[in-house]
């Protein structure tokens, strides 16, 4: 087998329906600094026109590495020709200057004796795709593929649960001498797109910055480089993350990765989609990766406790955990939401002499309620589920109120601790009319200016945006995980940039 070829860490997958769009996107990516592009010839009705366009592009961009792919429709591609015609297209692409070609294993197994010339003249990548899930024995898949000599092997599955991610990545560790690209499609498999190169994969794939990608879960190379530092984190990097459902709205990756960068810590913080009922499977993944720590948010702050070895007294009283880390082989949990609530509020009033209304009854509301009672505030609770409100009020020694009762009163501060108003449902607000407080604190930070805060400003109330709580609790998480002082200014800048970018898109 030929020696392992070194590719740039990110390949931009270009799947466009015509040659003009293909070349326009290729030029745009090149101008953005990308030097490794995949030309999906099967996306073009006449792949030969795509090959001619690719050759013309290469004449002007000689420092660009091109991977040519012409996947058959039978294997989830768009090419309708025979295997013989597919081989002819790949050979033509090689003659036109492609540095590597991708051939799916199903085709390769039916033309093995005809691959010698292609393998001798260019980098041959054999690929396997599973759009239904992740097979239980991936080593069997790799064994099947390596029966056919090639320079590299690409295995792409679909992640249905968190442990699919670690199983895909572990294949690189268990077969370090086999050149591989290992990825899991879908939001659940996103971590593989970041970690694959660090785990020993040849490279990862990204979507064009101005067009759709060719697979579920692909994001732009700019995001992979600027937020996740793909190509710069090492094999020994510590891995952190946030677990939630949904999770793609979170700005935590942008903030914590900027903090690691500011402190020059070799670490990566990733979003992990963990659906209800998947916590046990998530911990299997966390052990395998291994994960050093993670943030916990909706809907897992309460149920996570049963999976932890130790929970500190504050989090136990609250009954909710938002920060987990591993120490001496044990999973430990705490709650940094509490100071995230009290510290911003204390900049405006003395909690021990103030009346506060908390809206909500979930993990965030529990953290706020117990923290405020401990600070001496006169606390009232309300929410959409009055039975849960009463249960929480009984647990922390607060006064339960219906929405109508709460709206008929006036408080020194309102703390909103529900997802109402969070993107994409930005028009939602718990209160029907006037907000019953002089100070309004909304834990929701996407968007920064929620419907609640808009109404509060309109009635001349002082407002505290959710970003203040987010930064306070995130800074404390960083310090727990690393033992270093949080770079708060850098974290705030990253948060504001992430929120501004979301508004643009």
d(CA 484, CA 487): 9
DSSP string, 368-410: HHHHHHHTT-EEEEE-S-HHHHHHHHHHHT-EE--HHHHHTS-
**Residues 248/69, Cβ–Cβ less than 8 Å:** no
d(CA 89, CA 70): 7
Among candidates 120, 138, 118, 121, which has minimal Cα distance to 129?
Answer: 138
**Residues 57/21, Cβ–Cβ less than 8 Å:** no
Catalytic member of 161, 223, 301, 438: 301
| Helix and strand element counts for the chain (H, E) | 19, 20
Q: Tell the residue number behind the tokens 């067009």, with chain if given.
A: 211
Residue 273 is inside which H or E element, if any?
A: strand 267-273
Residue 36 is inside which H or E element, if any?
A: strand 36-40
Q: Is 301 an active-site residue?
A: yes
**Residues 200/172, Cβ–Cβ less than 8 Å:** yes
d(CA 125, CA 220): 23
Residues involved in catalysis: 301
């Amino acid at each position: 087998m030929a020696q392992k070829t070194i590719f740039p860490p990110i390949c931009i997958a270009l799947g466009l329906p015509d040659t003009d769009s293909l070349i326009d996107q290729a030029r745009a990516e090149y101008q953005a600094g990308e030097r490794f592009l995949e030309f999906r010839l099967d996306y073009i009705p006449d792949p030969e026109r795509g090959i001619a366009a690719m050759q013309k592009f290469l004449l002007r961009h000689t420092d660009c590495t091109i991977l040519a792919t012409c996947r058959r429709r039978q294997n989830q591609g768009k090419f309708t020709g025979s295997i013989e015609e597919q081989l002819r297209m790949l050979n033509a692409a090689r003659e036109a200057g492609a540095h590597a070609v991708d051939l799916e294993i199903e085709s390769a197994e039916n033309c093995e004796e005809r691959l010698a010339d292609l393998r001798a003249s260019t980098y041959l990548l054999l690929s396997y795709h599973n759009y239904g899930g992740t097979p239980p024995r991936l080593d069997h898949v790799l064994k099947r593929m390596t029966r056919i000599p090639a320079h590299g092997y690409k295995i792409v599955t679909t992640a249905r649960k968190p442990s699919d991610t670690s199983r895909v990545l572990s294949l690189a560790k268990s077969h370090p001498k086999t050149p591989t690209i290992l990825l899991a499609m879908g939001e659940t498999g996103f971590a593989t797109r970041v970690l694959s190169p660090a785990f020993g994969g040849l490279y990862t794939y990204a979507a064009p910055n101005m067009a759709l990608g060719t697979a579920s879960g692909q994001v732009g190379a700019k995001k992979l480089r600027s937020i996740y530092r793909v190509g710069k984190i090492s094999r020994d990097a510590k891995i952190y993350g946030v677990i939630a459902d949904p999770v793609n709205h979170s700005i935590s990756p942008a903030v914590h990765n900027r903090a690691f960068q500011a402190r020059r810590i070799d670490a990566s913080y990733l979003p992990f989609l963990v659906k209800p009922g998947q916590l046990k499977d998530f911990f299997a993944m966390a052990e395998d990766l291994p994960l050093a720590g993670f943030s916990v948010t909706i809907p897992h702050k309460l149920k996570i406790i049963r999976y932890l070895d130790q929970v500190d007294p504050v989090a136990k009283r609250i009954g909710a955990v938002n920060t987990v880390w591993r120490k001496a082989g044990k999973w430990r949990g705490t709650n940094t939401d509490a100071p995230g609530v009290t510290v911003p509020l204390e900049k405006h009033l003395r909690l021990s002499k103030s009346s506060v209304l908390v809206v909500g009854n979930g993990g965030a509301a529990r953290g706020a309620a117990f923290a405020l009672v401990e600070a001496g505030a006169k606390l009232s609770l309300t929410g959409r589920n009055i039975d849960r409100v009463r249960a929480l009020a009984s647990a922390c020694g607060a006064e339960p109120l219906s929405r109508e009762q709460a709206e008929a009163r006036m408080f020194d501060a309102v703390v909103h601790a529900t997802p109402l108003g969070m993107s994409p449902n930005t028009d939602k607000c718990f209160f029907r009319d006037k907000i019953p407080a002089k100070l309004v604190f909304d834990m929701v930070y996407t968007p920064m200016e929620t419907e609640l805060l808009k109404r509060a400003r309109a009635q001349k109330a002082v407002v505290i945006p959710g970003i203040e709580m987010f930064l306070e609790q995130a800074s404390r998480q960083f310090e727990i995980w690393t033992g270093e002082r949080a770079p708060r200014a850098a974290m705030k800048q990253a948060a504001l940039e992430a929120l501004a970018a979301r508004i643009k898109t």
